[in-house]
């Protein structure tokens, strides 16, 4: 929501400065155009993730692969199964304040499945409810062999 308002204001400024400012030098128009392309890219990236983004968990014999797949980009991280420890469900539900509003609007996630990998805590997935989290945790633990 906030990103949409900022993008709308920024787009209005770009259109006005590119097409209605006669006294603006050419170099400044080029800079504004380049900045607008960058803003549009990141806005589309976020919008496409919200509309069509998918998190994928693949477990093979030796590796755990976490992928974020979107129409505009794909990001995959691979983890060695032997170093994956302590799969947990983290409930980060907040009842009041700005974080509660973000959770109500589904901008931030309440439930996350995490695991320890070396000295890091990795978020495997989020945006699911408690029942799904319990089922998914059990599936991952059974596939990896942490039971």
pLDDT tens column, 117-129: 989 989 888 878 8
For residue 121, give both structure tokens.
């805590």
Q: Which of 96, 134, 128 is nearest to 111 (CA)?
A: 128
pTM of the entire structure? Answer: 0.68
Which element (helix H / strand E) includes 145? none
Low-confidence ranges of the chain (pLDDT < 70): 1-7, 18, 21, 102-108, 147
Residue-wise pLDDT for 98-117, tens only, equals 777 766 666 667 788 889 99
Give the pLDDT score at 147.
Answer: 67
Give the pLDDT score at 52.
Answer: 86
* Angstrom distance (rounded) from CA 147 to CA 138: 9
């Amino acid at each position: 929501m906030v990103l949409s308002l900022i993008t709308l204001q920024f787009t209005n400024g770009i259109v006005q400065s590119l097409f209605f400012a006669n006294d603006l030098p050419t170099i400044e128009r080029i800079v504004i155009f380049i900045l607008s392309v960058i803003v549009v890219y990141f806005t589309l990236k976020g919008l496409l993730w919200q509309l069509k983004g998918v998190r994928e968990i693949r477990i093979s014999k030796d590796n755990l692969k976490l992928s974020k797949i979107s129409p505009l980009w794909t990001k995959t991280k691979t983890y060695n199964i032997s170093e994956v420890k302590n799969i947990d469900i983290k409930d980060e539900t907040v009842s009041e304040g700005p974080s509660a509003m973000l959770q109500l609007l589904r901008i931030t996630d309440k439930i996350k499945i995490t695991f320890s990998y070396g000295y890091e805590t990795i978020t495997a997935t989020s945006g699911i409810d408690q029942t799904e989290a319990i089922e998914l945790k059990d599936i991952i633990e059974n596939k990896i062999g942490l039971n």
